[in-house]
Chains A and B, each alone.
Chain A
Amino acid sequence: MTTQPTVAAESDPNPSAAPRPSGRTARIATTAAAALALAAVAIGYARHSSSAQAPDTAVTAETVSLAPGPRLLTLTSTGQVTTVGKADPGGARAVSPTKCDRAYAAAGTVACLYADGALGTVTMRVLSPDLKERKAIPVSGVPNRVRVSASGRMVSWTSFVGGDSYATLNFATRTGIYDSRTGTLFKTLETFSVVKDGKPYQASDVNYWGVTFTGDDNTFYATLYTKGHRYLVQGDFAARTVRTLRDRVECPSLSPDGTMIAFKAPVEGDSTRGWRLSVLDLKTGRVTETAETRSVDDQAAWLDGSTLAYAQQHDDGTKDLWSVPADGFGKPRLLLRNAHSPAALG
Chain B
Amino acid sequence: MATAAVATTTAAVVALLTAAPSASAATSTFTPVADTYVQDTTPTTNYGTSSLFTVDNSPVRQSFLKFTVSGLTAPVSSAKLRIRVTSTGNSASGGTWKSMSDTTWSETAVNWNNKPVIDGGTLASLGSVANDQWVEVDVTSVVTGNGTFGFGGSSTNADGAYYDSRESGADAPQLVITTGTAPTPTPTPSTSTSTPPTADPVLVGAGDIADCGTGGDEATANLLDGISGTVMAIGDTAYPNGAASDYTNCYNPTWGRHKARTKPATGNHEYNTSGATGYFNYFGASAGDPTKGYYSFDLGNWHVVALNSNCSVVSCAAGSAQEQWLRNDLAASTKPCTVAYWHHPRYTSGSSHGSTTTVQPLYQALYDNNAEVIVTGHNHDYERFAPMNATGGVDNTRGIRQFVAGMGGTGLNGFGTIQPGSEVRDGTTWGVLKLTLHSNSYDWQFVPQSGKTFTDSGTNSCH
Say whether A194 faces chain B, with CB atoms less than 8 Å apart: no
Q: How many residues of A contact B (CB 8 A)?
A: 28
CA distance A313 to B414 in the complex (A): 8
Binds A, one of B47-55, B142-150, B422-430: B422-430
- Which of A79, A163, A167 has the most CB atoms of chain B within a 10 A radius of its CB? A79
A316 to B437, CA, bound (A): 27
Cβ–Cβ < 8 Å partners of B356 in chain A:
120
In the complex, chain B residues whose CB is within 8 Å of the CB of A160 = 352
List the B residue with the shortest CB-CB distance to A315.
B428
Cβ of A143 under 8 Å from chain B: yes
| Closest residue on chain B to residue A141 by CB atoms | B354
Contacts across chains A and B counted by CB atoms under 8 Å: 78
Q: How far is the CA of A163 from the CA of B413 in the complex (A)?
A: 11
Cβ of B355 within 8 Å of any chain A Cβ, yes or no, is yes
Bound together, the chains give a CA A9 to CA B343 distance in angstroms of 32
Report B62 CB to chain A, min CB distance, Å: 35
Contact of A318 among B348, B351, B418 (CB under 8 A): B418
With both beta carbons as reference points, the residue of chain A lying nearest to B379 in the complex is identified as A164
Tell me the B90-136 residues at the A interface (CB within 8 Å).
none
Chain A 238-250 per-residue mask, 1 if CB under 8 angstroms from chain B, else 0: 0000000000000
Stretch at the interface among A55-63, A111-119, A215-223: A111-119
Q: Write out the residue numbers on chain B whose beta carbons fall within 8 Å of the beta carbon of A120.
A: 354-358
User: How many angstroms between the C-alpha atoms of A50 and B348 in the bound complex?
Assistant: 31
Say yes or no: is A165 at the interface (Cβ < 8 Å to chain B).
yes
B352 near A317: Cβ-Cβ < 8 Å: no
CB distance B415 to A142 under 8 Å? no
Q: Which residues of B contact A79 (CB under 8 A)?
A: 417-418
Question: For the complex, is A78 an interface residue (Cβ under 8 Å from B)?
Answer: yes
B418: contacting residue among A78, A122, A143, A164, CB under 8 A:
A78
Q: A120-B357, A142-B352 are in contact. Are A165 and B413 (CB under 8 A)?
A: yes
Closest chain B residue, CB of each to CB of A101:
B417
Q: Report whether B425 and A317 are in contact in the complex, using a CB–CB cutoff of 8 Å.
A: yes
Residues of B within 8 A of A313 (CB): 414-415, 427
Contact with A along B423-458 (1 / 0, CB 8 A): 011111100000000000000000000000010000
On whether A117 and B392 interact (CB within 8 A), knowing A78-B418, A317-B414, the answer reads yes
The 8 A CB mask of A95-120 against B (1 = contact, 0 = none) is 00001010000000000000101111
A203 interface residue, CB < 8 Å from B?
no
**CB contact between A164 and one of B347, B352, B454 (< 8 Å): that residue:** B352
Q: Which of A117, A167, A317 contacts B354 (CB 8 A)?
A: A117
User: A317–B413 contact, CB under 8 A?
Assistant: no
Is A77 an interface position by the 8 A CB rule? yes
Given A164-B413, A165-B413, A317-B427, the answer on whether A142 and B354 have CB atoms closer than 8 Å is yes
Is the CB–CB distance between B418 and A142 below 8 Å?
no
Cα separation A317 to B413 with both chains bound (whole Å): 10
B73 at the interface (CB under 8 A from A): no
Q: Contact: A316 with B424, CB < 8 Å? A: yes
B248 within 8 A of A: no
Q: Across the interface, do A117 and B352 meet the contact criterion of CB distance under 8 Å? A: no
- Within the complex, the shortest CB–CB distance from B82 to chain A, in Å, comes to 40
Complex CA–CA separation, A119 to B390 (angstroms): 11
Shortest CB–CB separation between residue A326 and chain B, in angstroms? 25
CB <8 Å contact, A317 and B349? yes
B418 touches A77 (CB 8 A): yes
Q: B351 near A165 (CB under 8 angstroms)?
A: yes
Cross-interface CB contact of B391 among A17, A77, A118, A170, cutoff 8 Å: A118
B419 part of interface (Cβ distance < 8 Å): yes
CA distance A315 to B446 in the complex (A): 15
In the complex, A313→B417 CA distance in Å? Answer: 11
* Alpha-carbon separation in the docked complex, A120 to B354 (Å): 8
The 8 A CB mask of B346-369 against A (1 = contact, 0 = none) is: 011101111111100000000000
Contact A117/B413 with A17-B459, A164-B352, A317-B425 known, Cβ cut-off 8 Å: no
Which of the listed residues A17, A117, A167 has the most CB atoms from chain B within 10 Å of its own CB? A117
A-B contacts besides A78-B419, A316-B424, 9 pairs, CB < 8 Å: A77-B417, A99-B417, A117-B392, A119-B357, A120-B358, A160-B352, A165-B352, A313-B415, A315-B426
Residues of B within 8 A of A (CB): 240, 347-349, 351-358, 380-381, 391-392, 411, 413-420, 424-429, 454, 459
Chain A residues with CB under 8 Å of chain B are 17, 75, 77-79, 99, 101, 115, 117-120, 122, 141-143, 160, 163-165, 167-168, 170, 313, 315-318
Which 10 A-B residue pairs are closest in the complex by CB-CB distance?
A: A317-B415, A118-B392, A120-B357, A117-B355, A79-B417, A316-B425, A101-B417, A164-B352, A315-B428, A317-B425
User: What are 22 sample pairs from A and B whose C-beta atoms fall under 8 A apart?
Assistant: A75-B417, A78-B420, A101-B417, A115-B355, A117-B347, A117-B420, A118-B357, A119-B392, A120-B354, A120-B356, A141-B354, A142-B351, A142-B354, A164-B411, A165-B413, A170-B240, A313-B414, A316-B415, A317-B349, A317-B415, A317-B418, A317-B427
